[in-house]
Each structure stands twice: as structure tokens, then as C-alpha cells.
Structure 1
């Protein structure tokens, strides 16, 4: 059920990346050099009038970041008692903490929105209510009041069998329209409960910022591909306005106070009524997991809106798969899709300001054997919170350079044997380069225009290093990763952390083998990559890297927790989203726990004697994924998004296999968690 609705059974289909790019074994064999070669921080800056240039982006930053992180971690240790793995149908938090639902599917968002009822749904009602399957969450300050905020949330996808009584496997037209309205994003005004860390919806009459964004919301295209022939359609011959956003997964908050959202598995919403025969179009569709043969989708969007039929509107698919930017402080402003950041299955995007003031966005392409990217803006960030500075900063992602990552290991290939056993130097680590796809306004990929690089970014990345005779120059090829999902810079130590969720096809017949960054065959549990830009500068073209966590059962020899005593850590499987508290501690939420227990939220110090001491902070109900997470600027609240509770084979509206959170039927829900015990209020204590 999870595979069917979330990503269209991607694992049952051919791997989209069938390029001949090499993996690490080939790179090492070629004799390449193997050596030498904002969450809580953003919220705090916003409370002071938005962020300044990143203080960590300096030559001295790389040497001082870990010391600073260790010092802060010692002042704010993670002392909470670990939550044991379980299969309970509720949120479980440590002793001394409490939790409550903040927003659930169907809760009113806009004025006049009707009360939710499973048997009285309509598209008009859903367009005014909180959407389905909440994913990324952020809680932003509002009007300088510590007790008021804006909850911004993605709605990734819909579970029709848990939404509609008697759903038969194919939606009716009205069910399709309801599902369209249930996608997108929500902005909701919230308020603190007393002086606690609990939050609730703001009372009626004070919701001027509330907003629902869905499949019918107009978006403005920006960047070099806007207006190109590749994005023009019958309804939009100028190629500058797109209706809606789909499959919004993770995201981030920019230093200028907007929210970025990643369009991920958009491919599953498009059908084909007449087979596509053009070879180039078929190749482009295949690389993004899109059909070219006659295909009907279960949601039936293509039957109620012709733009979702590839045969009738072949360019509509090129208008999805972007990074979306929304300004929650301006509810009437059109959201935008930034073509300069490339088109692929974006998990999300997170921004850091480089030493020279340019904005750098880190991104992952969530697919087996796909790539890690970053974007560096042409223009520089302006400090301050003036209207003029903010208008300028909101244009930073419209023009710049796009890169894809190549990682090289520093251990002999024979020592990376697929088991996860550490090589003789005691770490999975190495060096890396950012390979340019677009640089100074020019395509760096032979045979691709800039517009083609940005619209067909996967194909362009595959083509790097490809010689005229079809062979590949391994020195110019990006590295195929194990589903790079959330990618976020740590505001305390300046390093970048990448959640690599899993890849059960690594090393199987006909698939790429292991390498030092992806060291296990049939990787069920995933890993977390720690990346350090050269001189601590986000705009650098070189970096070093190491695996910070190799996830799984700590009793398994093929796991690694930053060198910490594995007998003291919690088991973790399938890291998905990451966040940071004010001390720079890393918080990791999981999706798809392959150890037999519910998914949850974990916390771990990244520096000092507790580095690698990973502890489970919360678990979510049966069938659910733990998304978000968000730690508020005052560190009194953790927000998590409980996505698809009860998403278990055989479940339905009439046979719910979860009753979270209200004891009747499963409803995706954003929850707040806060420290209830007297004394210290900081979460993690």
C-alpha cells in the first residue's frame, strides 16, 4: 500500500538511472587521487529580523565548527531517556514529555471551511481544509510575538483507500477532485498554550495568513527555463504560469523567511491515452519514471483534467519536479517554481549563505542510484529585514550555477566488501567535487542547452563525462547514491548532513555495486552522510565527506554510529528527514523502518564525547512515517508530522488498522511534543 500510493510502486519498476556512469570501484581502478583531492538557527534569525551572512562560511570555520558544536552540546546535552522500539498505535515520547495533535487532515484552514466528515467530503470543502499526508513542517515567528506563529506544512500524497468509503481502486471524478485539493501546502496561524511548549490553532478571527495551496493554485515559473518551448502548453503558451504543485515532500526555510518545498514523485499522477512513439520523448519520460505506453492512473487525474494526459499535453510533466518557494507572510503572493535549481524528484532544498554572500541550496534526488546536487546563486544576499532587502533576496534562486556531486573513497576497493564492515582506516570517508552542470549562464553538458539541462537534469547529469564514442570519463561522472533525501547544513558546525534512506537493489544483478559512500549491498537501512565544504565555504567546489551513521541494528557488525559504543545506542532504520536544535544536535526522522518496529524521531550529538550517541526520542503509530521534524527557536517544542497512519495492506475506511489520533479513523496529523516536567523546558533534556 505504501509503495502504491507514495511513489507509484517505484521499486517494482526499472531503475530510472540506467546510465553507464561508474561507481567507486571503477573510480579507484582508474587510479584517481583518493586523498586531499538552517532549522533552529533560521528560526532564531527570523525572530531578529531574518538572517545575516553565515558566520561559519570563512577559512577558519572548518577548524572551529566541531569545537563550537562540542561546546554547545556540552551545555545542552541530550539527556532524555530513550524510547524503546514498539508497535503501539500512538505517539510515544520520553518520560517527562507530552504530545498533542495540532492539525489533522480535514481541519478548517480558511474562513467558512466546513467541519470535516468522512462521508461529507467535497472538493470545495477540501480546498479550505488541511490537506492529506502532512510532510515537511515549519513554525515561523509572527509579528514578533513569542506566543504566535505560522505553521507551514506540505501535503505529499493521498491514500484514497483510507479517504473514501468503498474505494474500488480507481477514483470517481469527484474523488479525483477531492484528492487534487488535498495535495499541496497549508499555512495556518497557531498560538502557544499558556507558557508551555504546546501549540494550537489560533482562535477564529485572527487567521489573516491562513492559506491553502493545491493543484489548482497558480504558480509563477522563474529562471532560465521559464518560457522555453519545453514548458509551454495549450493553456499556457507563454510557459510562465503553472497550476498547482504535487507530491511535496521535504523543504526548508530560507534566510529571508520564505519556505522551500520539493516536488518529488510527480510521475505517478500522469496517464497516457495514446502511446508515445518519439524516441527522445520516450527516453526523457523513462528517466523520470513516467509512462510512454497507454496507462491509466488509480487517482484518475488525467480523466478530469487533460493536462495530466501526456498524450494530450506532453509538456505538462516538465512543469513538475521543481523546488517551490512560498512566502507565508504574504498570503496573496503567487508562489513560484525555480527552474534554475533543476528538475528531478526533489526531496527538498535548504539554503546557507556562502562566504561571499551568495545563497547556496542543497538538494537530493530521491531515487535509487540518483544524485546529490547544489545550487549557488549569482546575486548575493542582502542583510536586514527591510522590504527592499526582502524583495531582492526573494530573487536569489532565479539565477545561478547548478552542480552535481562526485564522491571518491580513500580506501582500497577490496576493503569495501558490501557488508558494511569498516575499512582498515576505521571510517567510510573520502573527498568530493561539485561538477558543474550550468556555470556562469552556460551549459557544461555537451549537447544540452541550459534549458535542457534544467528541464532534463537527470539526463544531463548522466551525460557528464560521456565521450563521443560512448565511453565514460570516470573523472567527470557523478556518484550514484542510495536515495539521497533530506540535505541540510548544520547552523552550528557548518557541515552538511544527507539522509540516504536505503537501496535494496545496490549490488544486485545488473545494478551498480558498492562504493565507500554506499558500502552495503541490498541496503535496507540507509546511512547519514556528513559533508564538509572546503574551508567551510558553502560555495566551494571541493569537499570532504564521511558516513556519520550507517543505520540498522547496533548488534549488526555492519552498522556504525560515529564511533560511539554501539551497545548504548538506539536501533535506527531508513533515515529520511533531518533537523538541528540550537546546540547543533542532529535530529533524524525515519520512513520505512526495516527492523520491525514503528518509525520515529531520533537525536544525536555531532561533536564532543557524545558524538554518535544516537537515542530514540519518539515513535509514531502503526503504518505511519515520521516527517518534519522542526525544533522551535526557543527549543521548547518539537513538531513532527505523523504521515499516513494505518497505511497497512488491507486497511480501508471500513477496516481501519489505526485509529490515530482521535480513536475512530486514521488521520494524518501534525503533533507538538514538549517537556512537561518541572525545571528545564528545553526539549532533549
Structure 2
């Protein structure tokens, strides 16, 4: 039963999600549900483009597996030559793949010879004076000093040559009020506490020697919580725009807080980027014009009722009409300076950012790749105006901290190449939205391009993708990997050789190859690297690999190890292939290109987030997000990671329910 609080915690009845419960649909909806996709423009769909590529491949055997395509061209990319994955060295992180894990298993499942340890859990005190976690006595003040909820993007940045100290940086995407608070908790306490549970955490770690599990340092000097009350500076061409001004901020240059922070990236100059994603769900809006509806803003969708204690969440008023425009950005945080002001970068555009990942081009310009996590939305690229300055001097660092403040934004159009050469599936073009920092979209000012990026992109006819989430450039081969999680909105009428399923419930990974290895070039080629699924899924394809693979569905976040292997975390397998979500290793080069091998599985109801692979250190890290998400305070569906027995909640402040947790997996 839903806890009896003084505000509604559940979404509106009837809004169910293709891959999640109704509760979760409202919290982080991206795939098919009864809520219409915001993009209704008549631009091309990825399935139409892929038709040319995959129609050349015949279905073989049982009709469930697409025949292998010849391996992608092994010609080196100029920016970073492709290389064999191992070069004859012993594998840094050897493991025997685990089998698929049942969704009822409430534990982290790891390979033989490995163990897992919890580094940080929701509610662990990290700031000086923060109290120990007590789920029955939560307050906004306590949560503001404790590790936040639903950890997502993660990085472990070593800060000593000995490898015995590090900084953990983590996003806190959203909250599950139904399982966080006991019945009868006052509405204002709930709202203000979850405001403090959103945002980001920076936490110092320590250990005795390399290879050991990390422990966190409570009250350490660099520890920091960033919440919905933290001031953010706005920079870039839209800073100070009338489109960003509110009654509380008539300058349009300071935003209070960040929220729904999903994935992210770490820059070469040591800062962390975080993407603001499903911000629309928190606002009451009119939903009567395209600038709102294109971003999923609608009337009467804010079931949390935050506007009852703060008018900024009511965008139907003249005072706060622009408040939603102040979210949906890439934010940058300096984890080494707890006094620094985080920044929202308007030059990188506003949409439902999954994250942003950067690479330094040969000419020194910084190139960031970004996905808009919505059905039928787009893939973006940002190129900095200025160039990166190497070194750790104060002057170089100050310069690099401004690299994302000015530059040009473009959006991807993917087309088939029509050639049956077995090398590339198609060609692509980056279509500019700004050039030399100014709009090139007819009818849109520069400020409008950046604040209403989706609408501006619609005009130039890019390719509609199936929920492009994490987009990662590889530093080993110079290619870019795009995780398209799923899109069950595709109907039976749209089935073709490229899509032999009535709906794309399993997702795929696209590999982009910049022409000439130059990430500033406006042309590229692309390949379908993975078409995911299990033995019951028609049309599977795994980068040319024809041997056995671990079943994989709904790719979400991706990362690379020191050898250039791609690691893929999933979100949606329980609904798609009826197995727990997990983390998978996939070589992208050599004879084992496309060989999917499962490394771990997360507990019941959880999603695998923020993978970090320190293979030379024998460690893998994941953020276990929303374990037991469909339970309640009275009837938890997970007891991870503390496994407190039922009935122990009132004893010494113990909490019998689930706690989102950062986990480290190490070799025994």
C-alpha cells in the first residue's frame, strides 16, 4: 500500500511504461508509455536508415540471428590508431562470464574469484557534523550532509601516485518517496528532504594499498553535496537571456540547483560533467505551446506537488514561466574545489541530456558528444571555440575551465551508403545549429537555438534515434559508441529487414567513425555494432561475432577499460528478456569483436549505472540504482545492501528496505 503522506507520491493513474512500473515511468520515463513522445516532427527515423544497412544481411538458421557481417575496416583512424585489444599481454581483468541472473536474486552477482563491497550507501554521512543515517528520522538538514539517493553517473579519480587516495564523484538522479519514508511523514519534510537527496556528491576515498577495496572518509576536506538549493552560474551565449529570467533571478544568470542528473563524463582538465535529464516531471505547466510540449512539460503532471511549498515549480505563473528553461543543461563541477560554483553551459544546448563525454581533437579543440534520451530524439556534438592547453599550471587550468562556454553545436543525420562493401553501413553528417557561436537555423535566434534546442534541431531534419543515451568516444580507436536503449513505440507496420521485431525492446549500439579521424569534420561513417537481445529475440547481431554471447538488452551507460574494450551497463532487461540488469564486456577490435560477456548482475529491481573499469587495479565499480523500486516502506522488494531482517527498522535506526549504493568489485 502507498504510504499515507500529505502529498500524492504516485503518478497519475493509467500512465504505464513499456519497460517499467507506473511509478517508475513517471520518475524517469524515456521508453514507450501511454504518454506520447514529445517529438512529432516528420523527420527520418533510425529504423529507416538502418533498413539500407541490414537489408543486405540475410536471416539464417532459426531466423533469430542475423548473419555475420564482415568485420569493420581495420584501417587505422588518424586521430587514434586502432589496435589489437591485448597485444599479447596477459588480460588485466580475466573472468569467466556469469550466466543470466533471475530478477528475484537480491544480491550483486559477480564472477568466480571476485567479491563485491559497498563503498557508499544512501544516507551515509559525508559532511562534517552530518548524523548517521536513520530512515525513521529523516530531515532536509541531515540529508544535505549525507550521500544522496539513486546514484547514477560515477567516477573514481585517483589523487595520489601511490593509489591510496581518490575522489568519488556521483550523480543522484531522482527519488523513490514510496520506499524512502515511513507513513505519516509530513509533506514538507518529504519534499525538502528529497530536494537534498537530488544532485551530486563528491567524497574522498582511502585504502591501504592498490588492489584493496576503497573506504570513504566522513567529513573530509573535499567532501561536498550539491543539491537543489546549490547556486549554479549560467554561462555561454544564453546567459542573461530573457528566456532564463524569473522573479527570483531577474538577471537570468544564477540557477538554484540541479536535478535528474543522469550520466556524465570526466574532462581531461579534471572536472566532471553531468547531464540534466527528465526535469519536466517536476513542474506544473500549461502544456499549451510547443516550447513546453516538445520538452514533455504538461498540465497536472507534477504529482510530487513541489509547487505547494515553492512557487518556482509552477510554470503557469508569469513569475516562473521560465523556470523549466533553467534545467536540461550540461553542468560542470570542479571536484577539487568545494568552494567553486558549478556551471550550467548554455553553449551545449538544452534537452534531456543523458550526459556529455569529451575528446581532445588533434588540433586541440574539445569535442563533446551528447545524446537526448527520449524516443525519436537526436544525437548532438559540441566543438569548442578555443583549444585545450596541456599542463597543470593555474593559467592552463583557468583557460580549460572555460572551454565549454563557447563553441558550436550540431545534430546528426545518418544515411545509408548504398554500398555492399561489408565495411560501413552508412554515412553521416553533423548539421550545424550554430556557427561561430551564432544561430544558423532559420527563424531562431542564438538564444532560442540553445534554450529550445529540440525545436531548432527539428527544423534541420536530423535522424530520429531510439533513445540515444550514453555517447562515448574511445581514446583507443577514435570511434564513438552510441547506446540506444530501446523504443517499443515501433509498431508491427514498421517491421522490415532492419527491424525484424514488432518493437525495439532490446536496443542497440551504434559505432561512428569520424572521417579522417577528425572529430571536427562534419562527415562520418557508421556501423551497427550491437543489435541486442537473447535467443528469443529476432534479428540479433553482435559486431560480426558468431559464437555464443551473454544475453544483453537495453544498453544504457558505456565505459572503456585500459585495453580499449567497451563495457556496457543495462537498464530494462527485467522487462525485455526477464533477467536482471548487469554489466557486460565487449571487445571492439580483433578476432573477438562483438563477443558479449556478462561480468555482473545487480539486485532485484535495480539498474546498473555509472560503470568505472580500473582493470589494471583489478577493480570494477557500479552504481546500483533503485533496488526494489516497486516496493513500499511496509513491503520492501529488496533489502540490499544491508540485508536487515524484516521487523528490525525500529532497532537502532536500522532500515530494512533498499538503499542505492556504489559497489566496488575486486579480484580475490
- Contact between 1:517 and 1:547, CA under 8 Å: does it hold in 2? no
Q: Does 1:671 align with 2:663?
A: yes
Q: Does 1:527 align with 2:508?
A: yes
Alpha-carbon distance in structure 2 between the residues aligned to 1:598 and 1:276: 37
Alpha-carbon distance in structure 2 between the residues aligned to 1:534 and 1:499: 21
Alpha-carbon distance in structure 1 between the residues aligned to 2:242 and 2:536: 55
- Contact between 2:284 and 2:301, CA under 8 Å: does it hold in 1? yes
> Which residue in 1 is equivalent to 2:561?
581
1:62 maps to which of 61, 70, 77: 77
- Contact between 1:408 and 1:516, CA under 8 Å: does it hold in 2? no
How far apart are 1:109 and its partner, in Å?
1.2
Matches within 5 A, 1:350-429: 350-411=357-418, 429=425
- Contact between 2:149 and 2:174, CA under 8 Å: does it hold in 1? yes
Alpha-carbon distance in structure 1 between the residues aligned to 2:206 and 2:497: 47
Q: Does 1:179 align with 2:194?
A: yes
Query: Which shows bigger deviation, 516-525 or 430-439?
Result: 516-525
Q: Does 1:253 align with 2:245?
A: no
Relative to structure 1, is the Cα distance of residues 518 and 4 closer, same or farther in structure 2, using a 3 angstrom cutoff? same
- Contact between 2:356 and 2:370, CA under 8 Å: does it hold in 1? yes
1:327 maps to which of 334, 347, 355: 334
- Contact between 2:120 and 2:661, CA under 8 Å: does it hold in 1? yes
Query: In the TM superposition, what whole-angstrom CA distance separates every residue of 1:274-323 from its partner, at most 9, and x where no partner exists?
Result: x465xxxx2110000001x3x15222221111111001211000000000
How far apart are 1:659 and its partner, in Å?
0.5
Alpha-carbon distance in structure 2 between the residues aligned to 1:529 and 1:517: 13
Query: In the TM superposition, what whole-angstrom CA distance separates every residue of 1:83-140 from its partner, at most 9, and x where no partner exists?
Result: 1111210000000111110000000010010111111000111111000000000011
Matches within 5 A, 1:139-154: 139-154=156-171
Alpha-carbon distance in structure 2 between the residues aligned to 1:25 and 1:323: 28
Matches within 5 A, 1:190-269: 190-202=205-217, 204=218, 207-269=220-282
- Contact between 2:93 and 2:618, CA under 8 Å: does it hold in 1? no
Alpha-carbon distance in structure 1 between the residues aligned to 2:31 and 2:503: 18
- Contact between 1:161 and 1:167, CA under 8 Å: does it hold in 2? no
- Contact between 2:79 and 2:361, CA under 8 Å: does it hold in 1? no
1:560 maps to which of 522, 541, 544: 541
Relative to structure 1, is the Cα distance of residues 25 and 387 closer, same or farther in structure 2, using a 3 angstrom cutoff? closer
Query: In the TM superposition, what whole-angstrom CA distance separates every residue of 1:419-438 from its partner, at most 9, and x where no partner exists?
Result: xxxxx766882110000000
Q: Does 1:601 align with 2:583?
A: yes
Instruction: State TM-score, norm by structure 1.
Output: 0.85
> Which residue in 2 is equivalent to 1:571?
551
Instruction: State TM-score, norm by structure 2.
Output: 0.87
Gaps of 5+ in 1: 36-59, 413-423, 465-476, 677-685
How far apart are 1:190 and its partner, in Å?
0.6
SS in 2 for 1:670: strand
Relative to structure 1, is the Cα distance of residues 198 and 515 closer, same or farther in structure 2, using a 3 angstrom cutoff? farther
Query: In the TM superposition, what whole-angstrom CA distance separates every residue of 1:537-590 from its partner, at most 9, and x where no partner exists?
Result: 111111111011100014644101111124x21000100000000000000000
Q: How many residues align?
A: 610
Gaps of 5+ in 2: 1-22, 57-74, 644-655
> Which residue in 2 is equivalent to 1:421?
none
How far apart are 1:193 and its partner, in Å?
4.7
How far apart are 1:68 and its partner, in Å?
1.6
> Which residue in 1 is equivalent to 2:72?
none
Relative to structure 1, is the Cα distance of residues 265 and 508 closer, same or farther in structure 2, using a 3 angstrom cutoff? farther
Relative to structure 1, is the Cα distance of residues 636 and 27 closer, same or farther in structure 2, using a 3 angstrom cutoff? closer
What is the root-mean-square deviation of aligned Cα atoms in Å? 2.6
Matches within 5 A, 1:592-671: 592-593=572-573, 594-632=576-614, 634-648=616-630, 651-663=631-643, 664-671=656-663
